[in-house]
């Protein structure tokens, strides 16, 4: 009980009262005079003052000792409110440490991204320099420029992750139309690698931010193109359940090992596939999953090495409250 804990902290005051009472009672009990003797009274008062002064010195020394112990973070509380204050301060310290660790992890993450981004973008720039020195092929030039644009987009969207809530607009959009626009941007790569594309759906009405969703789809299709061998195939399809709509991107690429599969959306993770393809920094899927989560979607993946990789963007079917409020306001 809190009251008993309170009494435990107030024991010194209780002892002070008992000692003072016993001193006064003993003096008056041993006094042989009848009636009130002012000399006896002042004598009892003086002894009580001495006891009080001794008590105050004792408590002062206790305070000094505890203050000194606070520097080493090993000390006992001096009162009930002190106990709660200590618990609160300890929690603040733990929260501060967690926040500092989070900031340090974020700084390390930013540093690793910048370093990997510079290494990655150097490749298409080097290719462009080689093309300058030879007969420049327009298709190759366009392909390398597309790679640079994708790397720049990754950097821009990565920089916007922390301020995402200030830069999005949820609205009804057609997922298949966004897929087609993305495929059109990669048309030369599809042609040069002779990769077939099959779209088994006409429309997919979902609620999302078209700009951010196009970036997500672009990362998934770019990933499929990177790891699908020439002559392969990428299939786009949709499915629907009572709770969600799904956009399915499946390729006949080299696949992902089962031990790597749970970690493919981790920051900077490349795995066995990434190590065999030196242009991989593991940022595309990380950004795609993060942005999907912020938009209220999520991405899942299944794969079999040497057979296929399938990404699914899951869109909840529940009506978006933001759109309802926006529609009401417009009306």
Least confident of 148-152, 246-250, 321-325: 321-325
* Residue with token string 């869109």: 315
Distance of alpha carbon 294 from alpha carbon 160, whole angstroms: 12
What would the two tokens of residue 281 be? 């920094």
Distance of alpha carbon 175 from alpha carbon 203, whole angstroms: 7
State the sign of the Cα–Cα–Cα–Cα dihedral 85, 89, 91, 95.
positive
Position with higher pLDDT, 319 vs 117: 117
pLDDT(325) > 50: no
Q: Which CATH number is 105-326's, of 3.30.2350.10, 3.30.565.10, 3.50.50.60, 3.40.50.1370?
A: 3.30.565.10
pLDDT(22) > 80: no
**181 neighbors 214 (Cβ within 8 angstroms):** yes
pLDDT, position 242? 87
**291 neighbors 164 (Cβ within 8 angstroms):** yes
Position with higher pLDDT, 183 vs 6: 183
The pTM for the full model equals: 0.59
Over range 185-205, report the average pLDDT: 90
Among 322, 281, 316, 283, residue whose Cα is nearest residue 298: 316
Over range 168-177, report the average pLDDT: 88
Give me the residues paired with residue 299 across strands: 313
**167 neighbors 319 (Cβ within 8 angstroms):** no
**43 neighbors 28 (Cβ within 8 angstroms):** no
């Amino acid at each position: 009980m809190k009251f008993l804990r309170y009494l435990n902290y107030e024991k010194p005051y209780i002892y002070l009262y008992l000692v003072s009472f016993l001193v006064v009672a003993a003096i008056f009990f041993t006094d042989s005079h009848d009636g009130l003797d002012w000399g006896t009274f002042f004598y009892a008062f003086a002894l009580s003052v001495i006891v009080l002064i001794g008590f105050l010195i004792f408590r002062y020394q206790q305070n000094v000792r505890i203050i000194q112990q606070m520097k080493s973070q090993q000390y006992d509380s001096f009162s009930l409110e002190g106990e709660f204050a200590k618990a609160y301060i300890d929690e603040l310290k733990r929260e501060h440490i967690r926040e500092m660790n989070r900031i340090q992890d974020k700084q390390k993450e930013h540093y690793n991204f910048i370093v990997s981004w510079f290494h990655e973008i150097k490749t298409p720039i080097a290719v462009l320099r080689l093309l300058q020195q030879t007969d420049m092929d327009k298709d190759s030039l366009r392909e390398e420029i597309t790679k640079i644009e994708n790397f720049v987009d990754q950097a821009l969207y990565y920089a916007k992750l922390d301020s995402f809530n200030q830069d999005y607009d949820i609205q009804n959009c057609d997922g298949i139309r966004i897929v087609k626009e993305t495929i059109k941007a990669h048309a030369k790569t599809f042609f040069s690698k002779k990769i077939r594309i099959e779209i088994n759906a006409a429309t997919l009405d979902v609620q999302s931010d078209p700009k951010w969703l196009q970036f997500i789809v672009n990362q998934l299709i770019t990933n499929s193109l990177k790891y699908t061998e020439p002559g392969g195939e990428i299939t786009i399809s949709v499915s629907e359940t009572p709770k969600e709509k799904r956009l399915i991107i499946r390729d006949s690429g080299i696949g992902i090992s089962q031990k790597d599969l749970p970690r493919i959306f981790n920051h900077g993770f490349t795995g066995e596939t990434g190590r065999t393809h030196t242009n991989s920094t593991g940022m595309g899927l990380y950004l795609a999953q993060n942005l999907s989560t912020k938009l209220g979607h999520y991405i899942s993946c299944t794969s079999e090495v040497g057979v296929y990789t399938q990404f699914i963007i899951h869109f909840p079917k529940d009506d978006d409250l933001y759109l309802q409020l926006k529609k009401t306001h417009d009306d």
